[in-house]
Amino acid sequence: MNEQEAAAELERLAAEIARHNRLYHTDDAPEISDADYDALIRRNREIEAAFPHLAREDSPSRVVGAAPAAHLSKVRHALPMLSLDNAFAEEEVADFIGRVRRYLALGDQAELALTAEPKIDGLSCSLRYEKGMLALAATRGDGTTGEVVTDNARTIGDIPQRLSGSVPDLFEIRGEVYMSKADFAALNARLLAEAEDSAKARQFANPRNAAAGSLRQKDAAVTASRPLRFYAHGWGEVSALPAETQLGVMRAIAGWGVPIADDLERFTDLAGLIGHYRGIESRRADLGFDIDGVVYKVDRLDWQERLGFVSRAPRWAIAHKFPAEKAETVLEAIDIQVGRTGKLTPVARLRPVSVGGVTVTNATLHNKDEIERLGVRVGDRILIQRAGDVIPQVLRNLTSEEARPAYVFPELCPECGSEAVREEGEVDVRCTGGLICPAQRVERLRHFVSRHALDIEGLGITHIESFFRDGLLQSPADIFKLTRETLLGRERWAEISAANLIAAIDARRRPPLDRFLFALGIRHVGEVTARDLARRYRSWAAFQAMVDSALAIRGEMTPAIGEEERKFLQRRGKAVVEAVGTPNIGPEVANALLDFFEEPHNREVIADIFAAGVAIEDVVHETKESPVTGKTIVFTGTLEALSRDEAKAQAEALGAKVAGSVSARTDLVVAGPGAGSKLKKAQELGIETTDEAGWLKIVAEAGG
């Protein structure tokens, strides 16, 4: 992997992991397993280790959790609520202990004690007690800012309103809100019984999701109706500590009336830690709650303080994850689910089987290639695994080869009938009917009105979901058909709010070409690519003429008899790039662009948008000749007078290109406070650097 490939992969991983963080921590609707998520994190860490100067400011290695939900008020944690590094093998635990010994300069004979306790799969929560009384409860959020859930936490029986005994004036207890397996099953059964339509019953995927969704309710009465539990595993801000060791403080917390883990113990050797780990693992299926590993912590608090933190995790603790649990069953059907981004995911419907005390009926098959690799067909006996995952996965086909037809992956989207394609070099098959596909509509509508797209103020995800659910919004064109009268007929819409939204919509009826292209949600066409296309074609008519011409060229190309597919795809990719004729746009982006416009459904939706009174502004922003025209600029650190978006817009208006990473092709680095690896890399390469004041001077002198 070269530097350019590494930078691109880090950018992709940052976006993908951020999305999964939002789905897991904010939406309580994860799409991948814990193991798959950990694999993404490891991949990111390995690339950053090989190319440390490419580490991004939004790197997953620097991020904890996800942004707090919009419907809850926020609070900044006095001390960050960080996550833990993971170990997956005994050797990695030994390496962790070795690192601790080296950092503390301990000899091999010096005693190093560690505590070990089960890692419950719940929602992290902080409880702030002032003079023994519960004053504030908050979720972890993004590690720096959490959601205030005090009223909800007061309804949980395990969380005392007043601590008993002698307690410091200020003590912040941290732990996990969780739901037992039995209570989870009973809750889902109750939700099913209460639903008028069982097919539309709101049920939770697993106990962790149930706990998170229940604690983060607007109405504390809903939380009170859910059987939530809590146990403590640490602390945050305190006015004093009741002991000098991890174990001592945890026993004090238990003495104050807050539950801690029954299996919390102290060990002074690796054999003791691993023995405890194996013992908990052997009882895992019989426990009343989900756990996904064992956490080890250095016992002495003065050593914890010396060890400190690195990135998003403490040096003095690590989570030893459990391996996947396995079972055999029969594959009874293969269903295709279409995700919010158009990805077609095959799901195995299984003969019910118990795995680690949980009855499993579904498992992921990931993608078309995985089905072919496994060679699975309906009726095959298969081996599955579960490791506290959201959805288990198929490991192996146990059925011998027979003269039965292989599974045929669909070529059309099962939701909307649009063509489903797989791009060159990709493993995923995706629906091309992004603007009309029911599975993608809410996400596409949200993107269409987002800040960097059409930026329709007041039309957030809550309103979009409500309008979509009631049939008011089915496609982007419907946004421009909303009326004041329609809104006034809805609950909680008054004259002023209705008038404001209609005014905001009307203000976006003549969007710039680049924003409109970005708003369409075409795969691989981000803000920069949309601007490049807009600058190249300057009008919708010219852009559409290019698309029609490029589609005709691509359609006329057929592989020569016997020609290898790879060579044909290379030849076609080159022709398509030439037809699109826009700098910085390669075969992958060009083909994705043409795939979108080749789908008739997408063209119909765009025609409906225009029919609803939208007209694209043909004149794009002119660039000025300036000292940075044609140069590549990287912004890093904190900008104080400008937002990052404003600085980027200024640079592009002056004819410069803004990049996300520093390389030999970078011409200027603008570094604000907190600039790190990018500034260091620029200095090593001898690249010109300036601060924010220097950048503002360049803009002013250019008349920007």
For residue 363, the cross-strand partners are: 348
| DSSP H helical ranges for 195-312 | 207-215, 220-224, 246-255, 270-282, 301-307
Which of these, 621, 681, 680, 684, lies nearest to 651 by C-alpha position?
621
Q: Which amino acid is at 415?
A: E
What span, in angstroms and rounded, lies between the C-alpha atoms of 524 and 512? 19
Kind and range of the H or E element at 92? helix 90-104
Which of these, 629, 653, 622, 644, lies nearest to 692 by C-alpha position?
644
Which residues, 6 or more positions from 178, have their beta carbon under 8 angstroms from its beta carbon? Answer: 120, 121, 122, 123, 207, 208, 211, 228, 229, 230, 231, 289, 290
With H, G, I as helix, E, B as strand and everything else as coil, classify residue 273: helix
For residue 346, the cross-strand partners are: 336
Are 238 and 170 contacting, i.e. CB atoms less than 8 angstroms apart?
A: yes
Are 701 and 665 contacting, i.e. CB atoms less than 8 angstroms apart?
A: no
What span, in angstroms and rounded, lies between the C-alpha atoms of 439 and 433? 10
Angle at which helices 90-104 and 270-282 cross, to 10°: 140
User: Which is catalytic among the residues 74, 119, 624, 657?
Assistant: 119
- Distances 449 to 23, 477, 518, 597, 602 between C-alpha atoms, Å: 20, 12, 10, 20, 17
Kind and range of the H or E element at 15? helix 3-21
Please tell me what DSSP assigns to residue 470.
T
Are 388 and 32 contacting, i.e. CB atoms less than 8 angstroms apart?
A: no
Which of these, 672, 662, 669, lies nearest to 693 by C-alpha position?
672
What span, in angstroms and rounded, lies between the C-alpha atoms of 591 and 572? 9
Question: Is 681 a catalytic site residue?
Answer: no
| DSSP H helical ranges for 526-643 | 527-537, 540-556, 565-580, 587-598, 600-611
What span, in angstroms and rounded, lies between the C-alpha atoms of 473 and 465? 9
Which residues, 6 or more positions from 383, have their beta carbon under 8 angstroms from its beta carbon? Answer: 326, 327, 328, 394, 395, 396, 398
What span, in angstroms and rounded, lies between the C-alpha atoms of 75 and 127? 12
With H, G, I as helix, E, B as strand and everything else as coil, classify residue 599: coil
What span, in angstroms and rounded, lies between the C-alpha atoms of 679 and 682? 5
Positions marked catalytic: 119
